[in-house]
């Protein structure tokens, strides 16, 4: 049975560590964040997710987390799950990846399999990861094996978890690819597809997330266009979805957030640029999606007039429903823009108390000139009815997630705007 060392115990690495431990693998975790390590060893998840919290509690003692990189030498499989963000110019920032690879190189042993799950642009494994690992003096695909297997986790989803999502992988040799396939075969209940090369596997992930970014940008643009025509975009998308082929629904919103969709297209854009190709679709999609927070603020202004001094309740800070992740969240931008307009901004997110200035939904919405729904957390969708809004004397609603009952709220005399509806 394999033993595994997961490098980076965040949204991707922690569920993987739990899965490996559940499947009986000797599981080590290496993370540079001392607090994260201490919590995991104490059976506490540092990520607010009910299922993950339950698992980390149950697996207390079965995941040996540490800030000591020497642990890497103890495992037969090493999986890299460190962040790969962009810098302020939207250029790939590979600092964490390079640093994790240096930790591996210093502790590399013959026979080890290294799998990079972090999202990277085509060429990163061979041009960035490999040279660092070779500093160990060991020979690639003879002494150690290198594979890329992009993570596809869908935080907050009850249907798709780490165990049942099919995976693709590409190795630098047939032997390495086979070893990685065996590793995932032992822990997953899903198919693992072999790509022809590492580069193809790297490109798969960027294609998936760029596809989402472009399609979300398309419906966001439709929302703005249909808004002018008085057509409900959500109804139109539902209508188009009745076509059993050639259409796939995407939904408009306040913009795109998270560590993937708002970032990964830049990895492709920049890599292509360095190879002499200028993408046109991808920067345009980024621009449209980045314009949505201002569109949301424009809707609030449309409903309430000049925002100065108005009480605006922003509900949701996380980038998607029922998670605590605020990375690249468009809600943060909406709050910033409202403050620039001198609105009195109240914020509440049950998953992100640290960035909420109210401690309850009621406190945030009471007497609000406008409620702006930014994240469709279950609590909000269940609680925010026309009666609830009336009871709290709310005057207007911008439903940036198209998740509320437009007809009932309008019928109650509350001014209402959705995104394109």
Ligand X SMILES: NC(=O)c1ccc[n+]([C@@H]2O[C@H](COP(=O)([O-])OP(=O)(O)OC[C@H]3O[C@@H](n4cnc5c(N)ncnc54)[C@H](O)[C@@H]3O)[C@@H](O)[C@H]2O)c1
By the 10 Å C-beta count (0-12 exposed, 13-18 middle, 19+ buried), 89 is classed as exposed
Q: Residues with catalytic annotation?
A: 260
Residue 346 DSSP SS3 = strand
Taking residue 264's Cβ as centre, other Cβ atoms within 10 Å add up to: 27
| Size of site (CB under 6 A) for ligand X | 29
CB of 118 to ligand X, least distance (A): 3
Q: How far apart are CA 261 and CA 209, in angstroms?
A: 5
Indicate which single residue of 148, 167, 179, 259 sits in contact with ligand X (rule: CB under 6 A): 259
Residue nearest to ligand X (CB): 10
Rounded Cα distance, 171 and 312, in Å: 52
Q: Output the smallest distance, CB 264 to ligand X, in A.
A: 7
Report the residue number, 7 or 358, with the smaller CB distance to ligand X.
7
Q: 33 or 76: whose CB is closer to ligand X? A: 33
| Binds ligand X (CB under 6 A): choice among 96, 128, 192, 272 | 96
Side-chain-facing half-sphere of 296: CA atoms under 13 Å: 37
Place of tokens 């002499």: 276
Question: Which 8-state DSSP code applies to residue 392?
Answer: T
Site for ligand X in 9-28 (CB under 6 A): 9-13
Residue appearing with tokens 């990163």: 124
Contacts of 333 (CB under 8 A, 6+ apart): 255, 293
Q: Which of 33, 66, 173, 215 binds ligand X (CB under 6 A)?
A: 33
Among residue numbers 76 through 95, which ones bind ligand X (CB under 6 A)?
81-84
Position 100 contacts ligand X (CB under 6 A) = yes
Using the minimum distance from each CB to ligand X, give the nearer residue, 12 or 52: 12
2, 151, 213, 227: which one binds ligand X (CB under 6 A): 151
Q: Which stretch binds ligand X (CB under 6 A): 3-11, 106-114, 131-139, 168-176?
A: 3-11
Cβ-contact 304, 370 below 8 angstroms: yes
Site string for ligand X, 110-149 (x = CB under 6 A): --------xx------------------------------
DSSP string for 190-240: S-EEEPSSHHHHHHHHHHHHHHHHHHHHHHHHHHHHHHHHT--HHHHHHHH
User: Least separation, in Å, of the C-beta of 323 and ligand X?
Assistant: 9
Residues in touch with ligand X (CB under 6 A): 7-13, 30-33, 36, 81-84, 96, 99-100, 103, 118-119, 151-153, 155, 258-260
């Amino acid at each position: 049975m394999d033993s595994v060392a997961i490098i980076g115990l965040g949204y991707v690495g922690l569920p993987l560590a739990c899965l490996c431990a559940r499947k009986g693998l000797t599981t080590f975790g290496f993370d540079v964040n001392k607090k994260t390590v201490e919590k995991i060893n104490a059976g506490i998840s540092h990520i607010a997710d009910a299922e993950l919290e339950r698992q980390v509690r149950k697996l207390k003692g079965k995941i040996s987390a540490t800030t000591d990189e020497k642990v890497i030498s103890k495992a037969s499989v090493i999986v890299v799950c460190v962040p790969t963000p962009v810098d302020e110019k939207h250029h790939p920032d590979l600092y964490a990846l390079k640093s994790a690879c240096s930790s591996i190189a210093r502790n590399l042993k013959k026979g080890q399999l290294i799998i990079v799950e972090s999202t990277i642009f085509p060429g990163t494994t061979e041009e960035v990861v490999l040279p660092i690992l070779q500093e160990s003096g060991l020979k690639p695909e003879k002494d150690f094996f290198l594979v890329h297997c992009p993570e596809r986790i869908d935080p907050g989803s009850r249907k798709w978890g780490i165990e049942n999502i099919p995976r693709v992988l590409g190795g630098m040799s047939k032997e390495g690819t086979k070893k990685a396939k065996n590793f995932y075969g032992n822990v997953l209940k899903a198919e693992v597809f072999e790509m022809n090369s590492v580069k193809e596997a790297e490109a798969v992930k960027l294609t998936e997330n760029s596809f989402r970014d472009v399609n979300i940008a398309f419906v966001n643009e439709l929302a703005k266009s249909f808004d002018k025509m008085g057509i409900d975009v959500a109804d139109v998308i539902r209508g188009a979805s009745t076509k059993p082929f050639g259409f796939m629904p995407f939904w408009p919103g306040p913009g795109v957030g998270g560590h993937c969709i708002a970032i990964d297209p830049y990895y492709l854009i920049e890599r292509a640029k360095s190879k002499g190709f200028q993408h046109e679709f991808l920067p345009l999609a980024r621009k449209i999606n980045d314009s949505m927070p201002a569109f949301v603020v424009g809707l609030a202004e449309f409903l309430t007039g000049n925002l100065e001094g108005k009480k605006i309740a922003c509900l949701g800070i996380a980038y998607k429903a029922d998670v605590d992740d605020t990375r690249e969240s468009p809600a943060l931008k909406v709050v910033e823009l409202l403050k620039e307009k001198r609105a009195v901004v109240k914020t509440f997110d049950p998953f992100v108390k640290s960035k909420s200035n109210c401690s309850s939904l009621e406190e945030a919405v009471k007497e609000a000139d406008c409620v702006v729904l930014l994240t469709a957390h279950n609590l909000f969708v269940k609680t925010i009815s026309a009666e609830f809004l009336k009871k709290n004397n709310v005057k207007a609603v911008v439903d940036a997630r198209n998740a509320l009952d437009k007809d009932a709220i309008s019928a109650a005399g509350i001014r209402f705007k959705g995104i394109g509806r």
